[in-house]
Amino acid sequence: MIGGAGAGARLTCLCVSYTAETHLLRSGLLSFHLHRRLRRSRLFTTTTTTCSASDKKQKVIVISGPTGAGKSKLALELAKRLNGEIISADSVQVYQGLDVGSAKPTPSERKEVRHHLIDILHPSEDYSVGQFFLDARQATKDVLNSGRTPIVVGGTGLYLRWFIYGKPDVPKASLEIASEVYSELASLETIGDWDGAVQLVVKAGDPSAQSLARNDWYRLRRRLEIIKSSGSPTSAFQVPYDSFREPSDFHGENSVDISSSIDGFQENKSKNLDYEFLCFFLSTQRLDLYRSIDFRCEDMLSGDDGILSEASWLLDLGLLPNSNSATRAIGYRQAMEYLLKCREQGGQSSARDFIAFLSEFQKASRNFAKRQLTWFRNEQIYHWIDASKPLEKVLKFIEDSYHDETGTITLPKSLEMKKDISNRKETSDLKAYRPRNRLFVEREDISGVLEWIRKNHKQPSLSVC
């Protein structure tokens, strides 16, 4: 996953140095998952090297967009034209076995174009934005050092924000502190006392722990590690992204009030970034996007090897829905909850229960897309492209932008996607929107799924992780 460090001058380069501490991971004091997390985070440390301001920055393409917008297809075709390699910025594609629900590129596509940060973790392991930053920056260096073009693709907003602007200078926990925190929270995690664990961290000095997603034990442990390592909560550390915005622009991460943020970014865009980032956000009209998402959810449930099969495998590993990063993922959480209910009923499910599950899956996916749109409206570095336009025109525009040496990207009006809902009719249509299924319409359309459930979920699995 992590390649060797390469040379190559660029502004504020990342350098890799191995530490002697890694041998301590063999001490047997920590659990398997703590071993893995410490090993991944401590195998290298990052330092900053200042290079000559006259050195030309290397170009990195970033393609994002809401779920189902077609960014993966665009990136694949672009990589073929630009001698590129793809770096995934998807928080679910990192997991082995979670292929359908994360819309992972097929084996043939991955053979055609090399992909990075896919299938690097077991579903029982957690993954963080900080680890993504390290992994993605290393992959970027490796791609550039091989003379190829890095194309970073995904819809996880925080991953991409840190990747572009940098990560906060939050201290890493020593082996002793990590062990202490793990032991301190282990008993509470074992009995499922999430509220008690949160209060422990709040009393230690981080009130924001109350805002974490329920059962996000990985991030709760990290909050406590930071307090014990530094004496300060996470909020005390500056986020590099904030330095690229005007003070008047600080309305919170999910704010949609961007009236002044465009000017703020334009004034601050000359501040040093490590690379010349060419960022594009692919989207389409909200109604069309929602319809595409609903059909996509249906497609993921069709056949014997769909998302239900993958969710069944997660349950067979001994994992429970909403218990870690992988099982909180949209689609997997809903599918696992549905299958648990089926197991409790001896492998039985009614067509109505299945449709209710499908509707919940579709709604969660649409809401996620809505949150993505809200998030990226505030990211002024992106050029919004209409995904409904011909692929060839979009490819040519990005290809020309990559080869342009003026440093200015002008998006043609014919390709531009408006960030906001433009009229009352669209607002009214969105409020009245209801899914219209394409595959699962009549009872007989569902019979194959119900039969698969009867065969495979008569009794709860006894397998453990």
Q: pLDDT of 118-174, one tens digit each?
A: 999 999 998 999 999 999 999 999 999 999 999 999 999 999 999 999 988 877 788
**Residue 88's CB: how many other CB atoms inside 10 A?**
28
Q: Give me the pLDDT at residue 263, please.
A: 42
User: H/E/C letters for each residue in 400-419?
Assistant: HHHHCCCCCCCCCCCCECCC
DSSP per residue, 186-242: HHHHHTT-HHHHHHHHHHHT-GGGGGSPTT-HHHHHHHHHHHHHHSS-GGGSPPGGG
Q: Give me the pLDDT at residue 19, please.
A: 34
- Is residue 62 within 8 Å of residue 164, measured between CB atoms? yes
Sign of CA dihedral 394, 397, 400, 406: negative
Query: If 0-12 CB within 10 Å is exposed, 13-18 middle and 19+ buried, where does residue 57 land?
Result: middle
Sign of CA dihedral 434, 337, 439, 88: positive
pLDDT 10s digits, 75-117 = 999 999 999 999 999 999 999 999 999 999 999 999 999 999 9
- Average pLDDT of the chain to the nearest whole number: 83
Q: Give me the pLDDT at residue 14, please.
A: 30
In a 3-state reduction of DSSP, which class is residue 46? strand
Sign of CA dihedral 193, 195, 196, 200: positive
- Is residue 217 within 8 Å of residue 188, measured between CB atoms? no
- Is residue 51 within 8 Å of residue 116, measured between CB atoms? no
Task: Give me 68's structure tokens.
Answer: 């189902």
Q: Give me the pLDDT at residue 43, please.
A: 43
Q: Give me the pLDDT at residue 246, please.
A: 52
Q: Residue 17 — φ and ψ, nearest 5°?
A: -135, 130
Low-confidence ranges of the chain (pLDDT < 70): 1-55, 245-271, 459-465
Measure Cα distances from 366 to 294, 361, 363 in Å: 8, 9, 5
Spatial separation of the C-alpha atoms in residues 331 and 97, rounded to whole Å: 14
Q: Which of 267, 234, 229, 231 is nearest to 248 (CA)?
A: 267
Q: Give me the pLDDT at residue 171, please.
A: 77
